[in-house]
């Protein structure tokens, strides 16, 4: 990750969309940044964190998104500038407070960056966050380029301070995870002091008069944004077709227009201030165009708002023909890309286009079909979650009551897929493993006989599991909760959480241990190493069959395998080729087929298993899996050090 | 002599591999070197949970004038550089065309689907033959083996970078890339990467394209 403070004003840098937002925050004089990690938003806060100490910026990875926005808001109330970044799911967690600050207003510049994930590439939804800006009266900025990502963040902080309302900046995966040339601006030289003006109140009640005030502030925002440099038209004066677009679709549209050579025929109006809209600018262009194609991710938000304006102006101008995600030809789901837009142009403008000769196209596709194997995502070699799921799966088989797992969000979501034995049967939101598990635990009066194991990661435990656990104590829910504790927020890049004992900068912090929380609630809690397959299986079985009323918590504790890959193998692992009976014994490649660790390979020619030393992290679990004792272990110094 | 011209505008390169192989960093370093030369560069990374064994591609779009989108339209790759052989084919299938050039490492990284016995990994000879059929020219090199001999498999991407610079695939010179390497790494890592880069340059001088 680049040092976003290094280069000075006027220089060009190749910045990630995330880094550009980070740089924009620095240029906008941000003082406090509080976020919760989640793709594709994580790198914004990471980029700022790297330079924060030398720039006297407070950065934290908050316990969850609601606390993150509250932390940034406190800075705003004290006259500082604050920013909080999160993914779309996170906005939902923060929403109650976000709704409240919509009514109460704020003081110092406050920007909430929400990063949506069209197609849900690393998310449980492709939720479009933009309609919230309209329903809660927040200005909404949507960058179409890396430059805009930077400039809009700075502008957002300024706008927010001017109108006393939080500003939403909406980015998306394709911009967040791409790098582009960005011209840098100046870093401010201002040292704000925190002071709360006690003659003021930032409160959400009484709500109606405050809602009226919010509408007035939005009218101010509309006035400020109506001639914004973020709204740009390129193209002929009266094109055959007008594109109206925002966000990451802008660059796709340019690609499509270049490939089809449409610059004489098609105009493109890129809107950056997506709410409130620049009505006058839109009116000027709508009056000149009878056909309008709206390109946006993902819901027809802009399309709907444009149609609403067109309806209002129906007496003054003919209603244009609209194309978009609601009207078609674009789908109302999934991320757009240049190819989809090319196809839309072909349909609307009756064009033909071949990306490559048809015979070549057929050959290329047939080649992939014939030769290229799929590359499914899988838990890493040696992942303790695999070991934990192996133990839970074995316990469920031994138990024979058709048990299942309720789970949620993290690397351990791979429990949905073959790599995690498809063991997880419900998965919705952070903390919903324990929450739904709690609910199942209350179904005894309806003769629910199946044992339910709720799983939650260590980071997620603090983020979203505590209310369910408290409720389980209070209401005596029959909940077996397994905490898959790998000592990190591993999925998003090892950010600290309240149990790690470090803050965002790696400095010591007061650790709040999961076992201590459970003990304080009077909950039975034990810790087991999932690498010890037999003990872990026994423990799960015992917890599932615990007759006492109320919840019990089993912590399966073992460090993330990515960390272990760095710190050294516990064991040297190899397959005794004499003992390995391959497919012949009835085990039918039990280790590679059933246990599925990518560190175990099936050598089809020799008909034997072998260990891929480049991938194996030496956890030693597979040696307990092989029924023939063919997988052998030799403890290495890391393991010996651990035992002593 | 390396020619420092942009052969096409935009020049579309896709640098691909498997999570953890370092192709994202490799694309980023090329992107930096090109940005320093004044080109308008976009680098789009297409990855999901990349560290968990999935394919990862970086789309490098290089222009003299304007930024292009982080996703290359289908069939529009000019250059494919791959750190893993079947990933070269995967990208060729979607973005290849009769004029594309392919440079690939030959060391397989077996997908989970293959190690767990559900899918087959093709023979290297079949991979190179398929690539030769679909590309204008190809070059397959066991860069991982050279990296292993140097004692660090992670150097594969830097060897491949040297190869790409030596072949003149990008409008940058040897020194331009060395500058970004120097800015990226501390002294010890820089020296290792510099010798890996040099190995790549040597390979470019000694190995020819297959048609």
The whole-angstrom distance between A15's CA and the closest CA on chain B is 9
Let me know: does B117 contact A589? Beta carbons within 8 Å: yes
Query: Residue A644 — very low, low, confident or very high, per pLDDT cuts 50/70/90?
Result: very low
Task: Please tell me whether residues A119 and A214 are part of one structural domain.
Answer: yes
Return the CA Rg of chain A. Answer: 28
Q: What is the mean pLDDT of residues A320-334?
A: 97
Cis-peptide, bond into residue A625, ω within 30° of zero: no
Predicted confidence at residue A85, as pLDDT, reads 98
Nearest to A375 among B68, B111, B122 (CB): B111
Q: Which of B26, B52, B88 has the highest number of chain A CBs within 10 A, making it the mutation to test binding with A? A: B52
Q: Inform me whether the pLDDT recorded for A643 exceeds 60.
A: no
Distance set, CA A203 to CA A66, A84, A210, B198, B202 (Å) = 17, 20, 9, 64, 69
CA quadruple B46, B49, B52, B58: dihedral, nearest 10: 10
Do both A271 and A301 map to the same domain?
A: yes
Question: Residue A171: beta bridge partners?
Answer: A115
Classify residue A379: in a domain, yes or no: no
Nearest CB to A342 within list B35, B66, B73: B73
Residues forming beta bridges with residue A633, ordered by sequence position: A573
Task: Flag whether pLDDT at A417 surpasses 70.
Answer: yes
**Is residue A150 within 8 Å of residue A21, measured between CB atoms?**
yes
Q: Give which of A170, A167, A162, A165 is closest to A103, Cα–Cα.
A: A165
At residue B41, the pLDDT reads 95
Does one domain contain both A411 and A388? Answer: yes
Distances (CA, A) of A242 to A229, A282, A341, A638, B118: 19, 11, 13, 64, 49
pLDDT band at A363 (very low <50, low <70, confident <90, very high): very high
What confidence category does residue B2 fall into, taking pLDDT thresholds of 50, 70 and 90? very low
Query: Which residues in A lie closer than 8 A to residue B94 (C-beta atoms)?
Result: 364, 368
C-alpha Rg value of chain B to the nearest Å: 16
Instruction: Choose the final residue of a domain: A548, A565, A582.
Output: A565
- Decide if A252 and B71 are in contact by the 8 Å CB cutoff: yes
Give the residue-averaged pLDDT of B79-106. 98
Give the CATH architecture of domain B11-109+122-206.
3-Layer(aba) Sandwich (3.40)
- Number of neighbouring beta carbons within 10 Å of residue A365: 12
Residue A366 placed within a domain = no
Largest Cα–Cα separation, chain A: 87
- Within A226-299, residue ranges assigned H as helices are 249-260, 279-288
Answer whether residue A2 is part of any domain. no
Q: Tell whether A4 lies on the interface with B, counting CB pairs under 8 A.
A: no
Which of A 524-583 lie inside 8 A of B, CB atoms? 562
Residue contact B111–A376, C-beta within 8 A: yes
**In this complex, is the C-beta atom of B75 within 8 Å of any C-beta atom belonging to chain A?**
yes
ipTM of the complex: 0.95
To the nearest whole angstrom, how far is the Cα of A324 from the nearest Cα of chain B? Answer: 20
Residue given tokens 């899988």 in the structure block: A378
* Rounded CA separation A624/B133 (Å): 47
Alpha-carbon gap, residue A518 to A470, rounded angstroms: 9
- pLDDT of B4 reads 65
Cβ separation B76–A256 shorter than 8 A: no
pLDDT of residue B48: 57
d(CA B125, CA B136): 18
> Which tens digit of pLDDT belongs to each residue from A78-128?
999 999 999 999 999 999 999 999 999 999 999 999 999 999 988 999 999
State whether A108 and A146 are in the same domain: yes
Mean pLDDT of A514-524: 98
Residue of A13, A47, A173, A178 to mutate, testing the B interface (most B Cβ within 10 Å of its Cβ): A178
Count interface pairs A-B at CB distance under 8 A.
Answer: 187
Other CB atoms within a 10 A radius of the CB of residue A618 amount to 24
Q: How many CB atoms lie within 10 A of CB A606?
A: 11
- Work out the minimum CA distance from A178 to partner chain B, whole angstroms: 4
pLDDT computed for residue A641 by the predictor = 43
Reported as a single tens digit per residue, the pLDDT across A336-354 is: 999 999 999 999 999 999 9
Q: How far apart are CA B128 and CA B124, in angstroms?
A: 6
Q: Which of these, B109, B189, B200, B104, lies nearest to B152 by C-alpha position?
A: B189
Q: Closest chain A residue to B12 measured between Cα atoms?
A: A255
pLDDT at B1: 41
pLDDT digit string (tens) for A426-473? 999 999 999 999 999 999 999 999 999 999 999 999 999 999 999 999
pLDDT tens-digit profile of B6-52? 889 999 999 999 988 889 999 999 999 999 999 999 999 887 554 56
Mean pLDDT of A500-517: 96
pLDDT at A489: 86
Q: What is the pLDDT of residues B160-176, one digit of tens each?
A: 999 999 999 999 999 99
Give the separation between CA A480 and CA A453, rounded to whole angstroms: 5
Q: Which residue range is the domain that position A497 belongs to? A: 384-565
Q: Is the pLDDT of residue A240 over 90?
A: yes
Phi-psi region of A127 (alpha: psi -120 to 50; beta: other; left: phi over 0): beta
* Nearest by Cα to A385 from A525, A558, A542: A558
HSE value, Cβ hemisphere, 13 Å, CA-based, for A518? 21
Give the whole-angstrom CA distance, residue A302 versus residue A245.
8
Question: pLDDT at position B20, please?
Answer: 81
Q: Verify whether the Cβ–Cβ distance B55 to A364 is below 8 Å.
A: no
Q: Are residues A420 and A555 in the same domain?
A: yes
> Among A38, A119, A144, A180, which would you mutate to test the B interface (most chain B Cβ atoms within 10 Å of its Cβ)?
A180
A281: tokens are 């600018």
- Nearest alpha-carbon partner for B180 in B160, B158, B150: B158
In this predicted structure, what is the pLDDT of residue A195?
98
Cα(A334)–Cα(A345) distance, integer angstroms: 18
Q: 142-201 in B: which are within 8 Å (CB) of A?
A: 153
Q: Token digits for A638?
A: 């890391």
Say what the pLDDT of residue B132 is: 97
How does residue A640 score in pLDDT terms, banded at 50, 70 and 90? very low
- Percent of the residues in chain A that have a pLDDT greater than 70, as a whole number: 99
Domain count, chain A: 4
For residue A6, is it within any domain? no
CA distance A296 to A259: 20
Q: Per DSSP, what are the bridge partners of residue B18?
A: B55
Note whether A251 contacts B: Cβ–Cβ < 8 A. Answer: yes
A19 Cα to chain B: minimum distance (Å)? 13
Question: Which of A131-135, A221-225, A462-466, B205-209 is predicted with the least confidence, judged by mean pLDDT?
Answer: B205-209
Q: Which two tokens stand for residue A87?
A: 């993914």
- The answer to which of A297-311, A437-451, A601-615 has the lowest mean pLDDT is A601-615
| Residue A238 falls inside a structural domain | yes
Nearest to B83 by CA among B139, B26, B144, B17: B17
CB of A181 less than 8 A from some CB of B: yes
Answer yes or no: do A572 and A561 share one domain.
no
Of B73, B115, B121, which has the smallest distance from its Cβ to A259's Cβ?
Answer: B73
Domain identity same for A180 and A288: no
Whose tokens are 């893993």? That residue is: B84
Distance CA A596, CA A427 (A): 22
Decide if pLDDT at A2 tops 90: no
Q: What value, to the nearest 5°, has the Cα angle with vertex A119 and ends A113 and A125?
A: 65
A290 in reach of chain B (CB within 8 A): no
Task: Please give the helix or strand (H or E) that residue A484 lies within, else none.
Answer: strand A480-485
pLDDT band with cut points at 50, 70 and 90 for residue A133 = very high
Q: Which residue in B82, B119, B124, B76 sits closest to B100, CA to CA?
A: B76
**A636 touching B, CB under 8 A?**
no
Q: Indicate if the pLDDT at residue A607 is higher than 90.
A: no
Contacts of B91 in chain A (CB under 8 A): none
Measured distance CA(A1)–CA(A422) in Å, rounded: 35
The answer on A110 and A177 residing in a single domain is: yes
Residue A320 in any domain: the answer is yes
Residues A57 and A156 in one domain: yes
CATH number at residue A596: 3.30.70.20
Q: Which of A69, A76, A72 is nearest to A98 (CA)?
A: A69
Residue A410, both tokens: 């993290």
Mean pLDDT of A24-40: 97
End-of-domain residue from the set A180, A209, A225: A225
How large is the average pLDDT for residues B117-140?
95
HEC-encoded secondary structure of A256-274:
HHHHHCCCCCEEEEECCEE
Boundary-marking domain end, from A565, A598, A628: A565
Q: Which of B12, B32, B73 to mutate to test the interface with A (most CBs of A within 10 A)?
A: B73
Q: How many CA atoms lie within 13 A of A362 on its CB side?
A: 3
Q: What percent of chain B has pLDDT over 70?
A: 95
Query: Could you give the angle at which helices B156-166 and B174-184 cross, rounded to 10 degrees?
Result: 160
Q: What average pLDDT score do residues A308-328 get?
A: 97
Task: State the distance between the two ends of chain A, measured CA to CA, in whole angstroms.
Answer: 38
Q: End-to-end alpha-carbon separation of chain B, Å?
A: 21
Which residues in B lie closer than 8 A to residue A411 (C-beta atoms)? 49, 52
Tell me the three-class secondary structure of A110-147, residue by residue.
Answer: EEEEEEECHHHCCCCCCCCCCHHHHHCCCCEECCCCHH
Is the Cβ–Cβ distance between A267 and A233 less than 8 Å? yes
Question: For A592, which of B97, B115, B134 is closest by C-beta distance?
Answer: B115
Report the CATH number at residue A62.
3.40.50.970
Among A118, A371, A386, A588, most B C-beta atoms within 10 A, so best to mutate, is A371
Spell out the residues 6+ positions from residue A398 whose beta carbon is closer than 8 angstroms to its own: A537, A541
Residue A312: its H or E element: helix A301-312
Strands A178-183 and B40-46, by their bridges, are: antiparallel
pTM of the complete model: 0.96
Q: Which residues contact A15 (CB under 8 A, 6 or more apart)?
A: A2, A4, A23, A146, A150, A179, A180, A182
Q: Is the pLDDT of residue A642 over 50?
A: no
Q: What is the mean pLDDT of residues A474-479?
A: 96
For residue B29, what is the DSSP state? H
Report the relative pairing of strands B55-63 and B40-46 from DSSP bridges.
antiparallel
Put simply, the chain B residues between 124 and 153 with a CB less than 8 A from any chain A CB are 126-127, 130, 133-134, 153
Domain match, A219 and A274 both: no
Q: How far is A371 from chain B (nearest CA, A)?
A: 6
> Which token pair is A610?
């072998």
B116 vs A39, which has greater pLDDT? Answer: A39
Sheet containing strand A524-528, edge to edge, reads: A424-427, A404-407, A452-457, A480-485, A552-557, A524-528
Give mean pLDDT, residues A157-164. Answer: 98
Residues A534 and A574 both lie in one domain: no
Do B182 and B36 contact (CB within 8 A), yes or no?
no
Instruction: For residue A367, list chain B residues with Cβ-Cβ distance below 8 A.
Output: 89, 92-93, 130, 133-134
Residue B47: predicted pLDDT: 73
pLDDT-derived band at A327, boundaries 50, 70, 90: very high
Are A499 and A438 within one domain? yes
User: Residues of A573-593 as b/e, b for ≥16 C-beta within 10 angstroms?
Assistant: bbbeeeebbbeeeebebbbbb
Spatial contact of B176 and B36, defined as CB atoms under 8 Å apart: yes
Taking contacts as CB-CB distances below 8 angstroms, the residues of chain A near B98 are 356-357, 360
Q: A421 — contact with chain B (CB < 8 Å)?
A: no
3-state secondary structure of A168: strand
């Amino acid at each position: 990750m680049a040092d976003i403070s290094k280069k000075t004003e006027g220089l060009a840098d190749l910045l990630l969309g995330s880094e550009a937002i980070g740089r924009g925050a620095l240029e906008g004089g941000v003082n406090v940044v509080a976020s919760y990690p989640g793709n594709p938003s994580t790198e914004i806060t990471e980029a700022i964190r790297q330079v924060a100490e030398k720039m006297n910026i407070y950065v934290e990875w908050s316990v969850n998104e609601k606390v993150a926005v509250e932390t940034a808001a406190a800075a705003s109330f004290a006259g500082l500038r604050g920013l909080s970044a999160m993914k779309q799911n996170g906005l939902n967690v923060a929403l109650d407070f976000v709704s409240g600050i919509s009514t109460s207003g704020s003081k110092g510049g406050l920007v909430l960056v929400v990063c949506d994930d069209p197609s849900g590439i690393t998310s449980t939804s492709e939720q479009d966050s933009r309609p919230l800006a309209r329903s809660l009266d927040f200005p909404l900025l949507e960058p179409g380029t890396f430059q805009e990502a930077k400039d809009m963040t700075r502008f957002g902080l300024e706008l927010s301070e001017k109108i006393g309302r939080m500003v939403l900046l909406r980015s998306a995966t394709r911009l967040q995870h791409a790098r582009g040339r960005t011209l840098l601006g100046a870093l401010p030289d201002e040292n704000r002091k925190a002071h709360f003006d006690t003659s003021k109140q930032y409160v959400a009640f009484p709500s109606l008069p405050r809602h009226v005030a919010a509408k007035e502030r939005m009218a101010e925002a509309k006035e400020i944004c109506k001639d914004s440099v973020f709204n740009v038209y390129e193209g002929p004066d009266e094109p055959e077709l007008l594109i109206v677009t925002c966000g990451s679709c802008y660059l796709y549209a340019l690609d499509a227009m270049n490939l089809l050579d449409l610059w004489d025929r098609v105009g493109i109006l890129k809107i950056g201030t997506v709410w409130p809209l620049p009505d006058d600018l839109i009116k000027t262009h709508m009056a000149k165009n009878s056909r309008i194609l709206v390109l946006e991710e993902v819901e027809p938000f802009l399309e709907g708002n444009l149609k609403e304006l067109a309806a209002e102006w129906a007496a003054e101008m003919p209603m244009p023909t609209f194309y978009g995600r609601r009207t078609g030809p674009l789908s109302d789901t999934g991320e757009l890309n240049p190819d989809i837009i090319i196809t839309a142009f072909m349909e609307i403008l009756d064009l033909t286009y071949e990306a490559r000769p048809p015979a070549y196209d057929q050959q290329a596709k047939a080649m992939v079909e014939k030769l290229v194997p799929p590359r499914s995502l899988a838990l890493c070699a040696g992942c303790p979650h695999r070991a934990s799921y192996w133990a839970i799966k074995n316990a469920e088989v031994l138990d024979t009551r058709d048990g299942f797992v309720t789970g949620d969000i993290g690397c351990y979501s791979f429990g949905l897929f073959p790599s995690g034995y498809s063991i997880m049967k419900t998965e919705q939101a952070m903390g919903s493993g324990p929450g739904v598990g709690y609910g199942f635990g209350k179904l005894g009066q309806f003769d629910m006989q199946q044992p339910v194991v709720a799983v939650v990661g260590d980071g997620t435990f603090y983020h979203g599991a505590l209310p369910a656990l408290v409720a389980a104590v209070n209401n005596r829910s029959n909940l077996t909760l397994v905490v898959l504790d790998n000592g990190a927020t591993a999925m998003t890049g090892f950010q600290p959480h309240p149990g790690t004992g470090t803050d965002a900068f790696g400095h010591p912090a007061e650790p709040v241990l999961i076992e201590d929380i459970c003990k304080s609630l009077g909950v039975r809690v034990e810790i087991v190493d999932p690498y010890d397959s037999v003990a872990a299986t026994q423990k799960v079985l015992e917890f599932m069959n615990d007759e006492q009323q109320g919840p019990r918590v089993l912590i399966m504790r073992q460090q993330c395998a990515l960390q272990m890959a760095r710190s050294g193998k516990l064991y040297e692992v190899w397959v005794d080729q004499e003992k390995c009976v391959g497919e012949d014994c009835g085990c039918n490649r039990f280790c590679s087929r059933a246990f599925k660790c990518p560190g175990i390979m099936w050598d089809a020619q020799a008909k034997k298993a072998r260990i891929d030393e480049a991938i194996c992290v030496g956890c030693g679990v597979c040696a307990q899996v092989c029924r023939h004792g063919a997988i052998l272990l030799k403890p290495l110094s890391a393991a010996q050090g651990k035992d002593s | 002599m390396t020619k420092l011209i942009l052969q096409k505008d935009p020049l579309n390169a896709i640098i691909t591999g498997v999570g953890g192989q370092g192709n994202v960093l490799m694309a980023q370093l090329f992107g930096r070197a090109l940005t320093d030369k004044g080109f308008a560069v976009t680098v789009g990374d297409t990855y999901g949970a990349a560290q968990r064994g999935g394919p990862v591609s970086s789309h490098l779009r290089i222009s003299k004038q304007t930024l292009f989108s982080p996703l290359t339209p289908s069939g529009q790759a000019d250059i494919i550089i791959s750190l893993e052989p079947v990933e070269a084919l995967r990208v060729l299938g979607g973005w290849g065309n009769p004029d594309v050039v392919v440079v690939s490492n030959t060391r397989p990284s077996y997908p989970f689907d293959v190690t767990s016995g559900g899918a087959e990994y093709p023979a290297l000879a079949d991979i190179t033959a398929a690539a030769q059929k679909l590309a204008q020219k190809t070059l397959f090199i066991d860069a991982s083996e050279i990296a292993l001999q140097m004692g660090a498999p992670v150097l594969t991407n830097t060897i491949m970078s040297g190869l790409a610079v030596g072949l003149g695939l990008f409008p940058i010179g040897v020194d331009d890339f060395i500058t970004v390497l120097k800015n990226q790494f501390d002294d010890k890592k820089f020296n290792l990467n510099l010798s890996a880069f040099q190995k790549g340059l040597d390979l470019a001088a000694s190995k020819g394209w297959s048609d």
